[in-house]
């Protein structure tokens, strides 16, 4: 190849703005036939215990029900017919479970915030599972109109085998906060997909809290439909013995001057507790002047736990403000414990304080007052149940 | 009454080449109302003495004893030692993200007293202690030592000393990294503590500068894991003039 050829190639490449040869960006399809049953050896499935998914990934029938209680703030509209909205956020299934849900459930519910409507109070949707035997598929759409502001909380509890696709559209200039709390009973299986399209100068904040369930696997992907959009993804999780908690995140910087900030923090305790965090960021050629940072920290409280943490950053343009990531898996810091204990604080209390601080550091970034208090209380309850119990076991 | 009695203390640390002996028999008694200064070159074992007495897990006691009012400290966990009346101000106070100073101080005070401090007086006490160290009341809402400047960390250690009110305070290089104004504030705090009834202070320092503001009753020179010489305040002046050369020469 001559020098001229090489430069021609590079010019061609630089002109090809839309197509990306990216392993982070598989071609999706609504066609179920395009998604063979996974074996567990695929990159996107290799961490997941397929045997515990109750055939969601093969052909489990979707015949179960959920109890849904809505505590909606004034100004938000709900409709149970959103059947025309499949793919409205740009979502295209990239795995078999998402494709199965897309085929089985078309618009279970639409929550819509009208344009220019500012809603102070959070709207809370409590989704209660009624049993694990029959699987449930759901397709939920949240739409924040231009320049609207709102907070929507999905609180999952009870026992269920649930696969859901949540599509979120944040129109130009809107500010939407979505909170997802997986507070399931111990036997629940939840495989969720969330896809958000963020408009010009719009802000989307997702807070994901995962405590309960046997297997919880969530995919969250974000893309931008215009410049100036901002995405913040905060996650907090606590895996007990035998629990599998997997968070897969993908921020696709499809527009210039966009921002993304991802922080997930988790603690693990007990034999067989397993957490997985995959943090993918793709900066496309068109996405000049963007800023991205992703971080995952895991605190391993006992032996017998496993925390997998995989950040991936793919950069197609160097013309950006900044891109960074950090990932850590660690035990209690002996120096922190010694410092606290040297002030008279007993070991169990010192451990509790360190874990409390570990999560509190994240909770104070949430910016939803009520929720911060609630989460602090939930963390305290989880700690009382676990960290302190562990101390008793050791005593 | 408070007496910290260190007898023939021997301490080693684990290194890649096996255990290394750092303290080779330190004997020192701090009585009620006494302030002792330990001075010495780097690596002489000054800080090891402090951390070994406080119970840092890195150090292994291979011989000797340490008692506080007759109670065997070496048998106790670090938090039990603190509850017995020991306080260690660290050279590098540790950051604990997400835990506010207010939460930390209240938790510590509760652990030391066996009951939670009275809310109304406690807030006043905390703000008073911070104020005496030229720290703003808003300081109590910041995470423990996180993002503190070097001087703020040291002043926060002395504010803790003031509030937690131990029997014996070990201050490990509390003067390092302080400008002269902060040094005076910190020294005032140490003097205020030392003047309380029945307190003991063990001040570990590399420099004589702080001894102009905190007057020691005794000065000990540490060399190679032992006390090479003990004396009064005049020993510090001699060190100021001549340095450690004569001790280091003797040790070699």
Cβ contact B96–A335 (<8 Å): no
For residue A329, the SS3 value is strand
ipTM passes above 0.90: yes
- For residue A355, the distance in angstroms to the closest alpha carbon of chain B comes to 9
CB atoms within 10 A of CB A303: 9
Please give the pLDDT value at position B30: 97
Give phi and psi for B66, each to the nearest 5.
Answer: -135, 120
Whole-number Å distance between alpha carbons of A137 and A129: 12
Most B CBs within 10 Å, among A333, A342, A351, to test the B interface: A342
Handedness of CA A171, A255, A30, A187 (dihedral sign): negative
Residue of B14, B127, B186, B144 whose CA lies nearest to A353: B144
Cβ contact A334–B57 (<8 Å): yes
b/e sequence A175-202, b meaning 16+ C-beta within 10 Å? bbbbbbbbbbbebbbbbbbbbbbbbbbb
Per-residue pLDDT of chain A (395 residues; tens, 9 = 90+): 455 555 555 555 555 445 556 666 778 999 999 999 999 999 999 999 999 999 999 999 999 999 999 999 999 999 988 888 999 999 999 999 999 999 998 878 999 999 999 999 999 999 999 999 999 999 999 999 999 999 999 999 999 999 999 999 999 999 999 999 999 999 999 999 999 999 999 999 999 999 999 999 999 999 999 999 999 999 999 999 999 999 999 999 999 999 999 999 999 999 999 999 999 999 999 999 999 999 999 999 889 999 999 999 999 999 999 999 999 999 989 999 999 999 999 999 999 899 989 998 888 888 777 788 888 888 888 777 666 555 444 43
| pLDDT (mean) for B200-228 | 95
Contacts of B79 in chain A (CB under 8 A): 341-347, 350
Residue of A126, A155, A138 whose CA lies nearest to A65: A138
Mean pLDDT of chain B: 94
Helices (H), B170-211: 180-194
Cβ contact B96–A338 (<8 Å): no
Q: Measured between alpha carbons, how far is residue A57 from residues A191, A208, A218 in Å?
A: 10, 23, 14
Whole-number Å distance between alpha carbons of A303 and A227: 46
Give phi and psi for B244, each to the nearest 5.
Answer: -95, 5
Nearest CA in chain A to B106: A345
What is the span of the domain harbouring residue B152? 4-251
Inter-residue contact B190 to B132 (CB < 8 Å): no
Please give the pLDDT value at position A4: 55
Cβ contact B57–A347 (<8 Å): no
User: Number of residue pairs across A and B with CB atoms under 8 Å?
Assistant: 86
How many domains does the structure of chain B reveal? 1
CB atoms within 10 A of CB A261: 17
Most A CBs within 10 Å, among B52, B81, B98, to test the A interface: B98
Chain Cα centroid distance, residue A47: 16
Chain Cα centroid distance, residue B96: 20
E-assigned strand segments in B45-196: 59-68, 71-72, 86-89, 96-100, 143-144, 168-172
Taking the domains of chain A in order of start, what are their residue ranges? Answer: 20-331, 333-395
Cβ contact A339–B94 (<8 Å): yes
> Could you tell me the CATH number of the domain that includes residue B237?
3.40.50.300
Closest Cβ–Cβ partner in A339, A362, A364 for B96: A339
Handedness of CA B87, B90, B96, B101 (dihedral sign): positive
Please give the pLDDT value at position A2: 53
Closest Cβ–Cβ partner in B77, B83, B96 for A357: B96
Spatial neighbors of A36 by CB under 8 A, at least 6 apart, are: A96
Handedness of CA B187, B189, B190, B196 (dihedral sign): positive
What's the pLDDT tens digit per position in B66-98? 999 999 999 999 999 999 999 999 999 999 999
For residue A294, the SS3 value is strand
Cβ contact B107–A346 (<8 Å): no
Closest Cβ–Cβ partner in B87, B111, B144 for A349: B111
**Is residue A354 less than 8 Å (CB to CB) from chain B?**
yes
**Is residue A334 less than 8 Å (CB to CB) from chain B?**
yes
Residue of B121, B210, B124, B133 whose CA lies nearest to B172: B210
Please give the pLDDT value at position A393: 42
Q: Measured between alpha carbons, how far is residue A242 from residues A23, A274, A306, A330, B84 in Å?
A: 31, 7, 10, 19, 41
Closest Cβ–Cβ partner in A333, A336, A338 for B78: A338
Tokens of A107: 């618009």
Cβ contact B96–A334 (<8 Å): no
Residue B50 has pLDDT above 60, yes or no: yes
């Amino acid at each position: 190849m001559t020098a001229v050829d090489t430069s021609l190639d590079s010019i061609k490449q630089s002109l090809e703005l839309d197509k990306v040869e990216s392993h982070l960006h598989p071609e999706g399809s609504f066609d179920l036939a395009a998604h063979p049953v996974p074996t567990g050896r695929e990159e996107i499935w290799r961490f997941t215990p397929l045997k515990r998914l109750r055939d969601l990934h093969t052909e489990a029938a979707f015949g179960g029900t959920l109890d849904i209680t809505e505590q909606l703030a004034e100004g938000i509209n709900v409709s149970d017919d959103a059947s025309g909205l499949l793919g409205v956020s740009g979502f295209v299934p990239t795995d078999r479970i998402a494709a199965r849900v897309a085929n089985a459930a078309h618009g279970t519910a639409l929550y819509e915030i009208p344009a220019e409507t500012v809603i102070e109070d959070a709207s809370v949707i409590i989704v209660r599972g009624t049993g694990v035997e029959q699987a449930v598929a759901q397709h939920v759409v949240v739409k924040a109109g231009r320049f609207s502001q709102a907070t929507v909380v999905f609180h999952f509890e009870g026992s269920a085998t649930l696969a859901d696709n949540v599509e979120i559209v944040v129109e130009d200039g809107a500010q939407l906060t979505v909170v997802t709390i997986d507070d399931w009973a111990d036997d629940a299986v939840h495989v969720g997909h969330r896809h958000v399209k963020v408009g010009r100068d719009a802000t989307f904040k997702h807070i994901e809290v995962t405590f309960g369930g046997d297997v919880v696997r969530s995919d969250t992907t974000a893309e931008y439909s215009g410049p100036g959009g901002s995405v913040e993804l905060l996650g907090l999780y606590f895996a007990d013995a035998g629990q599998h908690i997997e968070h897969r995140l993908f921020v696709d910087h499809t527009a210039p001057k966009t921002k993304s900030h991802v922080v997930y923090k988790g603690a693990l305790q007990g034999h067989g507790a397993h957490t997985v965090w995959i943090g993918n960021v793709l900066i496309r050629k068109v996405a000049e002047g963007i800023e991205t940072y992703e971080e995952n920290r895991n605190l391993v409280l006992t032996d017998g736990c496993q925390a997998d943490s995989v950040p991936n950053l793919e950069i197609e343009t160097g013309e950006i403000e900044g891109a960074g990531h950090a990932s850590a898996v660690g035990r209690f810091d002996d120096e922190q414990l010694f410092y606290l204990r040297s002030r008279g604080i007993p070991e169990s209390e010192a451990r509790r304080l360190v874990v409390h601080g570990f999560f509190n550091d994240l909770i104070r970034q949430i910016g939803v007052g009520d929720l911060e208090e609630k989460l602090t209380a939930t963390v305290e309850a989880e700690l009382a149940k676990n960290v302190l119990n562990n101390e008793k076991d050791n005593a | 009454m408070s007496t910290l009695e260190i007898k023939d203390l021997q301490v080693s640390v684990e290194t890649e080449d096996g255990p290394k002996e750092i303290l080779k028999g330190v004997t020192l008694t701090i009585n009620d109302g006494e302030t002792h200064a330990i001075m010495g070159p780097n690596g002489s074992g000054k800080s090891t003495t402090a951390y070994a007495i406080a119970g840092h897990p890195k150090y292994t006691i291979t011989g000797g004893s340490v008692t506080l009012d007759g109670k065997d400290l070496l048998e106790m966990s670090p938090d039990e030692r603190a509850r017995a009346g020991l306080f260690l101000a660290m050279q590098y106070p540790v950051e604990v993200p997400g835990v506010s100073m207010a939460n930390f101080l209240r938790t510590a005070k509760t652990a030391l007293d066996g009951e939670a401090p009275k809310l109304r007086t406690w807030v006043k006490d905390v703000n008073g202690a911070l104020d005496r160290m030229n720290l703003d009341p808003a300081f109590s809402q910041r995470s423990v030592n996180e993002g503190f400047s070097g001087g703020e960390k040291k002043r926060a250690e002395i504010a803790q000393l003031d509030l937690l009110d131990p029997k014996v305070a070990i201050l490990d290089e509390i003067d390092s990294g302080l400008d002269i104004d902060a040094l005076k504030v910190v020294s005032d705090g140490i003097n205020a503590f030392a003047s309380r009834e029945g307190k003991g202070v063990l001040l570990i320092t590399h420099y004589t500068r702080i001894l102009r503001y905190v007057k020691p009753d005794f000065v000990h020179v540490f060399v190679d894991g032992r006390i090479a010489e003990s004396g009064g305040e005049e020993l510090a002046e001699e060190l100021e003039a001549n340095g450690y050369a004569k001790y280091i020469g003797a040790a070699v």
